[in-house]
Amino acid sequence: MSCLIACLYTSSQLAPLSLPPLSPPPPLPSSSPTLLLDKRLPANGVSTKKQLKPFAPTVTTKNLSSDPSSYKTPNSSFQISPQNPSPTKMAHDHSDSVFTNITRAPEDPILGVTVAYNKDSDPSKLNLGVGAYRTEEGKPLVLNVVRQAEQKLVNDPSRVKEYLPIVGLADFNKCSAKLIFGADSPAIQENRVATVQCLSGTGSLRVGGEFLAKHYHERTVYIPQPTWGNHPKIFTLAGLSVKSYRYYDPATRGLDFQGLLEDLGNAPSGAIVLLHACAHNPTGVDPTIEKWEQIRQLMRSKALLPFFDSAYQGFASGSLDADAQPVRMFVADGGECFAAQSYAKNMGLYGERVGALSIVCKTADVASRVESQLKLVIRPMYSNPPLHGASIVATILKDSNLYNEWTVELKAMADRIISMRKQLLEALQARGTPGDWTHIIKQIGMFTFTGLNSEQVAFMTKEYHIYMTSDGRISMAGLSTKTIPHLADAMHAAVTSMA
Ligand code: PLA
């Protein structure tokens, strides 16, 4: 199990708290999806000093039996015998499969943590991998406003299950643009925003990426180092070339602002820049508003195109408006800008896959032509988006009572995460765990970038059944007052015994 975790992709390697540096990752197998990305990077390095760490999947066939008769099909009472060799026998005979030579893909670096967690039968196990909110009781939460909105939808007999238009639900799109850009945004009033409903944040990024690859003159997108592990894959597969800009300084566990300005300053004019709107994943480090203003000025002076990923609006500060401020600063200057929104976290609609892509343009005419082209991206991809999640969001955003209730529930989730930060820091301080842990309360959003290295993470998984990504990121939203002592014990043991 720990091997599986240790093999997961490390989006960044922090300086170990008290350990010698790790040995370099193993070489990439030729099937690695990020090889494509690496090939696109110039051999002599990019404008950033730190390259993206390569994805280092390990192919393991150790547990696969070579005896096909040992494979069980669920609920199957069918016995393979020499007298009765088919059709199961044929189905189990791998030698003539057209996929005989297929290699086993590694689990996803984040979602694979849940796969490993699910296989663990220890009662004290704890999943701090994926960023999914849990209650104090460790249970998934369906917001009360979501239940109410669903009830309203179910009780409305006029509702049907027809296809949505290619761009999605009109009300949802309008409300989503207002949520991110502000209800009084001049860009919205002047019809300069093209918004399309997409499959959550991921789908919005992908549609935006494909649109840019098809219609924009500059094919390079700069992503922060480190960033959410899916970003380089999404943009590479969309047809863009991915480079990184410095973002995080492991020495200060804060923003590498100088590095960021230098790298964006050296980016070619017109390059696309992916920015986390708030609650940067995985570091939990956001620029201050003053620094955002400097970033904005630099980007506009070089005509760099901002592409905001807004997956945590409301989760950083507890305020939807405060968390959208960086995006609004870029819209207020009249320039163009992309925003990918997700309702997975802030409305707890993870599995409903509901999100939006907005492109702010200079004129209404351009926005309308942009929308017409977005339809050509979406139609052959998934034709049109799903109805249910978008209907829930639109019901909540259109009704002032539900909206107000939502903001209260959202603030309660954000506050619980902040309280988990304080409790974890206190628990480590009470144990006298070596090192400065105050970054736990300085970072914001769903995650703490602990500074634990992949060996320490593997140790915590093996000895304490605590699951997290190998870069030392923990989902604070998965913790509770009850589980913090267990985590603090594990962190203390990892830091002290592996020093
Ligand atoms: N952008 C960022 C920065 C994210 O962290 C995530 C989700 C998304 C977009 C996409 O979310 P969505 O498609 O579900 O709307 N990151 C999670 C889950 C919470 C994941 O990896 O899929 C994470 O644990 O990092």
CA geometry: angle 477, 312, 488, nearest 5 deg = 25
Q: What is the pLDDT of residue 76?
A: 35
CA-proximal residue: ligand 1, atom 2 (nearest)? 311
Ligand 1: which atom is nearest the Cα of residue 355?
Answer: 15
Q: What is the pLDDT of residue 7?
A: 37
| Annotated active-site residue in 256, 263, 286, 309 | 309
pLDDT tens track for 265-292: 999 999 999 999 999 999 999 999 999 9
Based on the residue annotation, tell me whether 228 is a catalytic residue of this protein.
Answer: yes
pLDDT tens track for 178-214: 999 999 999 999 999 999 999 999 999 999 999 999 9
Based on the residue annotation, tell me whether 292 is a catalytic residue of this protein.
Answer: no
Residue-wise DSSP of 365-392: HHHHHHHHHHHHHHHHHHSS--SHHHHH
| Annotated active-site residue in 53, 243, 345, 406 | 345
The C-alpha atoms of residue 179 and residue 294 are separated, in whole angstroms, by: 24
Which amino acid is present at 65?
S
CA-proximal residue: ligand 1, atom 11 (nearest)? 201
Distance 206 CA to ligand 1 centre (A): 13
CA-proximal residue: ligand 1, atom 12 (nearest)? 201
Q: Are 436 and 19 in contact, with CB atoms under 8 Å apart? A: no
Q: What is the pLDDT of residue 194?
A: 98
pLDDT tens track for 214-257: 999 999 999 999 999 999 999 999 999 999 999 999 999 999 99
CB environment 50-66: b (16+ within 10 A), e (fewer) = bebbbbbbeeeeeeeee
Tell me the C-alpha to C-alpha distance, in Å, between residue 325 and each of 185, 204, 433.
12, 20, 37
Residues with CB under 6 A from ligand 1: 110, 130-131, 200-202, 228, 230, 276, 281, 309, 311, 342, 344, 355
